Homo-oligomer: A and B are copies of this chain.
Amino acid sequence: MSKNDISRRTFNALILAAGGSLAVGSAHADQAEPEKAEARPTRVTILLYPGTTVLDWIGPYEALHRVDGVEVVLAGKTTDLMKSDSGIVEYKANVPLSEIDYTDVLIVPGGAKEMMTAANDPEIADWIKAIDETSQYTVGICTGALFLAHVGLLEGRRATTYWKFTPMLAGGGAIYEDARWVRDGKYWTSAGVSAGIDLTLALIADLYDDETAMKAQLGIEYDPAPPFNAGSVSTAPQSVVDALGGAVENPVGAN
């Protein structure tokens, strides 16, 4: 195993050369400025509930936690373990809703059936409505937009959501717009799952500046190169759309 041992020593030397750290590109890195009185961090609160689609919130989290001065709070009704929509990933909130009385940015991810259980829970719905009164941005990712619509926050507002359920926005009084993300005042909504990453980079630019957003983008090396052009209902082959059950019919004629 001597060959492997040499390789290992070289490898460790390289790690030392990298500053002893494998920290993946953070905008916190290499702070050369002298210490100054800390401003209050920008609080980003992500609402977690059982049955979320994990990428809906991990995409935004991964970009946002790299931004200097951002504090990401994972909020939940309790801090017990919860299961994702697939049942495979387990996660937990760090702070119970009852301990959070303001946020700068509120992010509500989407989820499967259980999302409606959360949206119909008065404790969660009341918390969202109260915290929304303190926010600079209230964001729905994927079917999280339907969550916001359901609690009455998108009444009369332009919004988008996961391609399969866009007509359902009308049920919450919102006006569907076909876009990767939509902003109407402080209410920002995104298309499905992975679209939260795009929305989040735009939001960081709005909250800070383009440079800060680009640092987060390079931090997660977000230079997408999908091997197929099937990521939207308008570009995917019809057979692929049909295999996923197509978009829901719109029983009330709105779109």
**Residues of A participating in the B interface, judged by any CB pair closer than 8 Å:** 4, 7-8, 10-15, 17-27, 29-30, 53-55, 58-59, 61-62, 65, 72, 74, 81, 85-86, 88-92, 94, 110-113, 115-116, 142-143, 146, 149-150, 152, 155, 162-165, 167-168, 170-173, 180, 191-195, 197-198, 201-202, 205, 210-211, 213-215, 217-228, 230-233, 235-237, 239-241, 243-245, 248-249, 251-252
Residues of B within 8 A of A172 (CB): 7, 11
Residues of B within 8 A of A8 (CB): 150
Q: A197-B224, A213-B228, A243-B215 are in contact. Are A11 and B88 (CB under 8 A)?
A: no
Q: CB within 8 A of A58: which of B27, B58, B81?
A: B58
Q: A14-B167, A91-B89 are in contact. Are A193 and B24 (CB under 8 A)?
A: yes
Q: A194-B224, A224-B198 are in contact. Are A11 and B231 (CB under 8 A)?
A: no
Q: A194, B165: Cβ atoms under 8 Å?
A: no
Q: How far is the CB of A53 from chain B (nearest CB, A)?
A: 5
Q: B62, A249: Cβ atoms under 8 Å?
A: no
Q: B221, A143: Cβ atoms under 8 Å?
A: no
Q: A201, B222: Cβ atoms under 8 Å?
A: no
Q: Which 4 A-B pairs have the closest CB atoms?
A: A192-B221, A223-B231, A214-B230, A11-B171
Q: A245, B29: Cβ atoms under 8 Å?
A: yes
Of residues A7, A30, A236, which shows the largest number of chain B Cβ atoms within 10 Å of its Cβ?
A7
- Expressed in whole angstroms, the Cα–Cα distance for A199 and B223 within the complex equals 12
Of residues A86, A94, A252, which shows the largest number of chain B Cβ atoms within 10 Å of its Cβ?
A86
Residues of B within 8 A of A111 (CB): 22, 24
- Expressed in whole angstroms, the Cα–Cα distance for A146 and B164 within the complex equals 39
Q: CB within 8 A of A61: which of B88, B165, B167, B210?
A: B88
Q: B214, A202: Cβ atoms under 8 Å?
A: no
Residues of B within 8 A of A194 (CB): 62, 197, 220-224
- Expressed in whole angstroms, the Cα–Cα distance for A18 and B27 within the complex equals 42
Q: A22, B65: Cβ atoms under 8 Å?
A: no
Q: A13-B251, A53-B62, A85-B23 are in contact. Are A180 and B225 (CB under 8 A)?
A: yes
Q: B214, A240: Cβ atoms under 8 Å?
A: yes
Q: A10-B252, A24-B193, A61-B89 are in contact. Are A226 and B236 (CB under 8 A)?
A: no
Of residues A14, A94, A172, A235, which shows the largest number of chain B Cβ atoms within 10 Å of its Cβ?
A14
Q: CB within 8 A of A231: which of B22, B81, B142, B217?
A: B217
